[in-house]
Amino acid sequence: DEGTDRYNEIFREWEEHNQDEIEISELYQNVLGFGKAYEIWWTEEGNGANVIIPNWKRIYGAEVYIKKTASLRPQKEAAVYMRKMGDELIADVFHPFRSERWRKDMSGKATEDRWIRDEEGSMEYPYSVVPVIEYTGNMYSNPLFEAEKKLIDSLDKLLSSSVNEVDRFNALIALFPGKVTKEFVDKLQELRVIDDLAEYENWPQYLEKSLEKINEFYNDLADRLERLFHKSIKVPDFSSEKFGSADESGVARAYKMLGLEFTASMIETYFTNALRERKQLLDDVMEASSITAPNTEDYKMVVSWKRNLPVDERAKAEIAMQLKGVVSDETLLKFLPQSIVDDPKKELERLESERQSNPLLQMGDMNATEE
């Protein structure tokens, strides 16, 4: 009931407090670029008496270590968040219900090289599980472009070589400046290092390298590497003239996107599992707070994903018209893009309300029944 949905109302307030849209976007970007992303949760006191507000924030993966059990389905036992601040190393060790802070002096001035417990930095919280979430996009926690690093490196080397060639061409190349002997010149000609040499007494001179067709060579090689890159990562080159041409059918375009869809589906599965861990943390805070909230067990978390892809609304509308009478009206409304119908059930309620308030529509329904 939207009028009494206190759980989601509280959750939306917490989402706004933690800028969650930006948070999830950054987590997703880290998963694609680095393979993993981590999120740490803690709490703070709110405005009311005993009101607790959860906080969550993305942190760098290199600063986190998670200890898990040795079972077939490993469970988190603890997590360590370590970072350097000034001349100190700070380590927060997270357990269920509590965290410990430890410090280590790295300035070289300390009398003892050991970790010291920081009681003020330690804290207690209502989380019944380790409040550190690990996000991944696949089984091996590889970045999206992990298998293509060699291709990327090759492209970088190619561009670097191209630039260096132009630099060398612009600067020309000095031919052994200074005094040389006839024997040295004869040896160069014998080895065919340089076929044609002027009078050696006139040196130093400069050899000009010909870069004829060099741009064509580098461009062809760069295009080949780029095609291999897109083929390997299964992401089409959306800037290519061959993608999405006017004479290409929607089915043909869909097949070109199939590899990307498989990749995106796998990432969604793993990322969604991590997002669902939030539910336990949210419930723990809600139950420990003095906020009057419904029974948290009555709620489940649903994670929905939306593609940022163009939709042929006209084609979908035509298909829906052809299916009229074959499937239910609710199914047809669900098939239409969200830009047309965002909530099929509410749309059906609106249609029914319009029929009830418009006699002409009711007569049309009666005629259809008589026929």
256-268 pLDDT, tens digit per residue, is 788 888 888 899 9
Rounded average pLDDT over 139-155? 75
Residue 103's pLDDT band, with cuts at 50, 70 and 90, is very high
Listed as own residue / partner, the contacts of 214-223 with beta carbons closer than 8 Å and 24 or more positions apart are 214/162, 214/165, 218/158, 218/161, 218/162, 221/158, 222/155, 222/158, 222/159
Q: Which of 45, 68, 46, 44 is nearest to 57 (CA)?
A: 44
Rounded to the nearest 5 percent, the helix, strand and coil shares of the chain are 45, 20, 35
Confidence at residue 64, expressed as pLDDT on a 0 to 100 scale: 95
Q: Has residue 78 got a pLDDT over 80? A: yes
Residue where the block lists tokens 């920081």 = 118
**Higher-confidence residue: 156 or 362?**
156
Confidence at residue 330, expressed as pLDDT on a 0 to 100 scale: 84
Rounded average pLDDT over 234-262? 75
Asked whether the beta carbons of 267 and 146 are under 8 A apart, the reply is no
Confidence at residue 276, expressed as pLDDT on a 0 to 100 scale: 95
Tell me the pTM: 0.68
Confidence at residue 50, expressed as pLDDT on a 0 to 100 scale: 53
* 21, two tokens: 């849209």
Q: Has residue 197 got a pLDDT over 60? A: no
Among the residue ranges 24-33, 46-55, 165-174, the one predicted with the least confidence is 165-174
Q: Has residue 322 got a pLDDT over 60? A: yes
Q: Where are the alpha helices (DSSP H) in 35-63?
A: none
**Higher-confidence residue: 100 or 180?**
100
Among the residue ranges 218-222, 243-247, 274-278, the one predicted with the least confidence is 243-247
Confidence at residue 325, expressed as pLDDT on a 0 to 100 scale: 83
Among the residue ranges 52-61, 163-172, 203-212, the one predicted with the least confidence is 203-212
For the stretch 44-63, pLDDT in tens is 987 764 588 999 999 988 89
Residue 129's pLDDT band, with cuts at 50, 70 and 90, is very high
Q: Has residue 201 got a pLDDT over 60? A: no
For the stretch 1-22, pLDDT in tens is 455 678 888 899 999 999 999 9
**Higher-confidence residue: 266 or 319?**
266
